[in-house]
Structure 1
Amino acid sequence: MSSTVRFGFTGDVMLGRQVDRRQQSRSADAVWGDLLGRLQSLDGLFINLECCLSTRGQPWRRTYRPFHFRANPTWAIPALERAGVDCASLANNHALDYGVRALCDTLDHLDRGDIASPGGGRTMRAAREPSHVFIEGMNVAVISFTDNTPEYAADSDTPGISHTVFDLENEPCRKILGEALTAAQSAEPDLLVASLHWGPNMVTKPPDAFRAVGHWLIERGVDLVHGHSAHIFQGIEIHEGCPILYDVGDFVDDYAVDDDLRNDRGFLFELQTDREGSLRALRLLPIEIRDCAVHRAGSTAADWSRDRIRELSKPFGTEFERQEDELILPLESRCGGRTTTDS
């Protein structure tokens, strides 16, 4: 048995529209392209699910929504299972694109597939509850929140997502996140992840407020911040030995590609730990989205992504090593099992 445990973290997984249509005529695992074997080799896999998994419901019309994303669970759940997805965060701006019925279907389908779904629930309390995923004898706790689409927020008796602003000047933000951390740590997890869908699209750098929240979370026990929403990857910062992935970009979708920002290029982020939760390394495998599927990046795309993340991470003092196609970020920290401090 290996002493190293490998956890994969991806950008947005959007399985609707053209992806859903393409999947009607190809195998369920085709959406993972030539990356399937690498995904299956991981001990755990964590994604942001950027769509509903349902054939029911109606497009959200209470407020203006330019896009509505959903996928047929008949193929989508087997596809997630084939890749070995353990946790699909739902706190994002597409979980209610087809209303409460479709969100509840999504929760039910993920539950039957034994896939945790933090950030979404039938009540506010359920949406804010941490998920606990047990992998290789380790308890991985995940809290999930978004500052997008407040109209999708769950309340005391209405299904929805876990919503907050990400600003430490805002007392409710500190209270909401602090309570989620306390709940997660009450089970003494070996690893604690914050999956945050924050900020607008196509932004290359995190605002100061997000950096402050990222630092605050790490200082209170989070081992890795898994940020997403921008559709493009941002820089990586190491704070107190723990990685803050400010944005991990996209992983699967059918989106139009910006020729400068290249939202079709990114990474599979692999966190390596020992079995007690000590962080060892972060590995970045370049990927690119083609034909509504994710693939290992070709040489041109891989060079671009490696150069780009070095450039974006340099202001944080983060420097990478290179090992064949991948970038390596050694980590020397025992983060797992720390307790929270007062807010």
Structure 2
Amino acid sequence: MPTLALLGDVMLGRGVAAALRHLRPQQMWGDVLPHLLDADLRIANLECALTRHARPWTRSWKPYHFRAAPAAVRFLQAARIDACTLANNHVLDFGAPGLRDTLAALDAAGIRHAGAGRDLEAASAPAFVDLPGAGRVALIACTDNQPDFAATAHAPGTHYLPAIPDAATLAHVARTIEQARAAGADWVVFSNHRGANFVERPEPDARRFARRVIELGADVYHGHSAHLCQGIEIHRGRPILYDTGDFIDDYAVDPVLRNDRSCLFKVRFADGRLQRIELIPVTLRLARVALAHGEDFDAIAERMTRLCAEFGTPLVRGVHALHWEASA
């Protein structure tokens, strides 16, 4: 498998939607764009609805509702995003009509999606991307956020799954991965929007769950939701990215935790083995992402080196990035 680029939350609504009216699609990605384009596969968590439907979700109280016009999909196309995870707590912010519009916009743009759909079968189904020379990649997406967004056998919604290592949950994960393999997947990426906001470390149950996902056959665990990058663990030769943070947003910045400091994560396999993980530090501004420099780079490097070391994953600092390399 060539290089896989994994992004955290991409939120195109609210203040971002207003800013995008004055930007060309490539401008949103700034000098990070070449690092995205030189990957072979790009996956992002789309943290909003793409819809003009104006009536927000009303079945339960929500403080924030995020949407962008369907035409905003061209900003995803500019970075050649191949697939989006939709299992999160904002994809139904404008109800079933907003979800249907989102699915239609992504389909029209040729962007695969997983984690939400017209019913539970569709929401839990993997998305497939074929990579010439590297095989078929399956993306499975689920969330433990917003249980009232959950799809049912007869209603649209998300692939809701508590991220706990109990027997029923793990049996569901095993079936989903087995179905992906049976459909021809050579590689399985398990993407999970889970946990509380603004925490630097996954809780013990989350660690046990992620390890079991790898043991059940996933090749990559791609976490997001905390708005902060968390550490990386290598389990049975496979990467667990506990949280990939934010990537595009208009969020208020915590002055201590600095959710405006994040990373682009790039994972490379060779001959079936995990070869390299590269972390490219980035800084976030309204509707823009940029390569981190100076104090920002130093702070991100220090935090990620420390958090990864807690999982026994040593990072080597370079001029523009951090990396982990498999031993020979």
Give the TM-score taking structure 1 as reference length.
0.92
2:208 counterpart letter in structure 1 = A
**TM-superposed deviation, 1:331:** 3.0
Q: Distance in 2 between matches of 1:34 and 1:204?
A: 27
Identity %: 40
The answer (yes or no) to whether the contact 1:34–1:296 under 8 Å persists in 2 is yes
Counterpart of 2:205 (choices 209, 219, 226) is 209
**TM-superposed deviation, 1:313:** 1.6
Q: RMSD of aligned C-alpha atoms?
A: 1.4
Query: How many residue pairs align between the two structures?
Result: 327
Q: Distance in 1 between matches of 2:54 and 2:136?
A: 35
The answer (yes or no) to whether the contact 1:57–1:101 under 8 Å persists in 2 is no
Check if 1:34 corresponds to 2:9. Answer: no
**Paired residue for 1:265?**
261
Per the alignment, in what secondary structure is the counterpart of residue 117 of structure 1? Answer: strand
Q: Distance in 2 between matches of 1:272 and 1:167?
A: 28
Counterpart of 1:139 (choices 136, 139, 148) is 136
**TM-superposed deviation, 1:223:** 1.0
Check if 1:297 corresponds to 2:270. Answer: no
Q: After TM superposition, what 4+ stretches of structure 1 lie above 3 angstroms from structure 2?
A: none
Per the alignment, in what secondary structure is the counterpart of residue 310 of structure 2? Answer: helix
**TM-superposed deviation, 1:314:** 1.7
Q: How does 1:86-165 map to 2 (within 5 A)?
A: 86-137=82-133, 138-165=135-162
**TM-superposed deviation, 1:247:** 0.5
Residue 331 and residue 57 in structure 1: after superposition, are their counterparts in 2 closer, same or farther (change >3 A)? farther
**Paired residue for 2:168?**
172
Q: Distance in 2 between matches of 1:139 and 1:331?
A: 23
Check if 1:328 corresponds to 2:323. Answer: yes
Offset from partner CA, 1:6-65 (integer Å, 9 cap, x none): 110011000101110011122122221221222122211000000001111411111110
The answer (yes or no) to whether the contact 2:170–2:212 under 8 Å persists in 1 is no
Structure 2: runs of 5+ lacking an equivalent: none
Q: Distance in 2 between matches of 1:124 and 1:331?
A: 38
Q: Distance in 2 between matches of 1:314 and 1:23?
A: 38
**Paired residue for 1:61?**
58
Counterpart of 1:52 (choices 49, 53, 60) is 49
Per the alignment, in what secondary structure is the counterpart of residue 269 of structure 2? Answer: strand
2:179 counterpart letter in structure 1 = A
Q: Distance in 1 between matches of 2:222 and 2:309?
A: 19
**Paired residue for 1:317?**
312
The answer (yes or no) to whether the contact 1:279–1:332 under 8 Å persists in 2 is no
Give the TM-score taking structure 2 as reference length.
0.96
**Paired residue for 1:336?**
none
**TM-superposed deviation, 1:332:** 5.9
The answer (yes or no) to whether the contact 2:301–2:317 under 8 Å persists in 1 is no
